[in-house]
Copies of this chain bind each other. A is one copy, B any other.
Amino acid sequence: MKNKVVTIVGLGLIGGSIARVIKPFVKKLYAIDNDKGIIKFAIEQCIIDSAPKNPLGESDIVILCIYPNASLDFINDNIDNFKKDAILTDTVGIKTPIMQLYNKLKPHFTYIGAHPMAGKEVSGFINSEKQLFDGANFIITPSDDATDEQISVVEKLAFAMGCDIVIRTTVDEHDRIIAYTSQLPHIIATAMCDTPLLVKHRNFTGGSFEDVTRVAKINENLWSELFLGNKQHISEQIKIFTASLEKIEKAIINDDKKTLIQIMRKVRLDKEMVDNADPKG
């Protein structure tokens, strides 16, 4: 990527963290952000090279690090500003809406969706950090017209960011899977904290409660867009989860220790297998 000019759109938690880590790997790093104070600070701290007026015209790679709906607006508003054969990628947590827009517009650049599986329960450039993606999974969802060479550029970007595993899939498959692995945990954490008991019993908690509820400190503006953009898959996952919950509750109510142990043992063995197989340990 040493010969690529890159523009990051949005210097928030994700865009800021990407900027902090990839600058040594690229030719020029530009950024676009509504907050001119952040742009000024990022230039002063050498986190980006500069912020020219029309960076898209000379950018080989453009990385959208803004909200789902803002990403659609940005593409619509800047469709003619992109360099020919540029790669547009992003970090949006759902992949179908941008791909639908891309397939409709058929622009002169190539869209390769991306989703680094990392984040924090706080937001903004102030919380961005170089190590945010260390060891993370990175999902790529290329458009049908992306070449292997273009895809490999985005893969290199992922490894430059510090990600460990890069997985390629389709936008449909991504959005179906992410409903289970990312959106369901956020919804569960929110539902668990959606009770006055949270405040009332705060001195009766231990590690299990802290962990299950960590992401309840949720960015409601971002996540409401992510949830509404993936409603069918989320609804399906909530059904699967609720069925398991009911099965466990029934075993408890019926004093059915055998079933209860059977469910928990199977889950424990699967979880141990997954954790041990995971290179993140």
Interface of A toward B, CB cutoff 8 Å = 117-120, 136-137, 139, 165, 167, 177-178, 180-182, 184-195, 197-199, 201-209, 211-221, 223-224, 227-228, 231, 234-235, 238, 240-242, 244-245, 247-249, 252-253, 255, 257, 260-261, 263-268, 270-275, 277-278
| Chain B residues, CB < 8 A from A215 | 207-208, 211-212
- What is the total number of copies of this protein in its complex? 2
Contacts A211-B211, A212-B189 given: A199-B137 contact, CB under 8 Å?
no
Q: How far is the CA of A248 from the CA of B224 in the complex (A)?
A: 10
| Chain B residues, CB < 8 A from A188 | 188, 192, 212, 245
Q: How far is the CA of A273 from the CA of B242 in the complex (A)?
A: 29
Q: A190: which of B136, B238, B240, B248 is its contact (CB, 8 Å)?
A: B248
Q: How far is the CA of A195 from the CA of B266 in the complex (A)?
A: 10
| Chain B residues, CB < 8 A from A244 | 190-192, 194-195
| Chain B residues, CB < 8 A from A228 | 252, 255, 257, 260
| Chain B residues, CB < 8 A from A221 | 261
Contacts A201-B177, A273-B199 given: A241-B208 contact, CB under 8 Å?
no
Interchain CB contact under 8 A, A208 and B185: yes
